[in-house]
Amino acid sequence: MKVTDTDVIGVKLVEPKVFGDERGFFLETFQQDRYREMLDIDLDFVQDNHSRSSRNVLRGLHFQTSKPQGKLVRVVRGEVFDVVVDIRPESATFGKWVGVHLSESNKNQLWVPPGLAHGFVVISDFADFEYKCTDYYDPKNEGCLIWNDPEVGIQWPVKTPLLSEKDAKGKLFGELFK
């Protein structure tokens, strides 16, 4: 397992160790002691989620206000471009975004600490997206930063994504955080 820091403070790319043999492959996708140490966190995961989305679907950019969720995300089938935006005003990387490709072939994971905005777009026919969360889903606490905010300037690989009604009504960074 290899863990690499990204351009957004606290967001880490995890490359798990994959054991391949004539039967297929095996990997550990979570092991509490090791992940706590390697990610430098002291948090428990309390919810696991799985979503399936078609090509060009963009989910995000989501965050929870008073109950922020840390997320350990990965792709089981297909490929996505996964994005995190730093919305922590006290952070040295406030306003910055980072994007990584997560796919069934690279088997990478991304650690998104509590308090950041997260989303992804599907760049394969479909994608199965799985993630662990450090707090419970709470729709009353949910916020949505608009995917194409010009101030944030995310370089998405899809220019006209498919969005939920909720995500199409996401708010501007300036409206939310200044």
164 binds ligand TDO (CB under 6 A): yes
Cβ pair 107, 27 in contact under 8 A: yes
Measured over the CA atoms of residue 3, residue 4, residue 10 and residue 11, the dihedral's sign is negative
Nearer to ligand TDO, 24 or 103 (CB): 103
Catalytic-labelled residue, pool 35, 50, 62, 137:
62
Tokens of 160: 């006209």
Under rule CB under 6 A, how many of the chain's residues touch ligand TDO? 11
> Known catalytic residue: 136?
no
Before 61, cis peptide (omega within 30)? Answer: yes
> What residues numbered 103-142 form the site for ligand TDO, per CB under 6 A?
118-120, 137
> What residues numbered 55-94 form the site for ligand TDO, per CB under 6 A?
59-60, 62, 71
> What residues numbered 37-56 form the site for ligand TDO, per CB under 6 A?
49, 51
Torsion of CA 139, 136, 30, 106, to 10 degrees: 10
Cα distances (angstroms) measured from residue 112 to each of 82, 135, 150: 11, 13, 22
| 48 vs 127: CA distance, rounded Å | 17
**Minimal distance, residue 136 CB to ligand TDO, in Å:** 8
> Known catalytic residue: 35?
no
**Minimal distance, residue 163 CB to ligand TDO, in Å:** 9
Nearer to ligand TDO, 31 or 164 (CB): 164
Q: How many helices (H) and strands (E) does the chain have?
A: 3, 13
Nearer to ligand TDO, 10 or 60 (CB): 60
Binding site for ligand TDO (CB under 6 A): 49, 51, 59-60, 62, 71, 118-120, 137, 164
- The catalytic residue positions are 62, 131
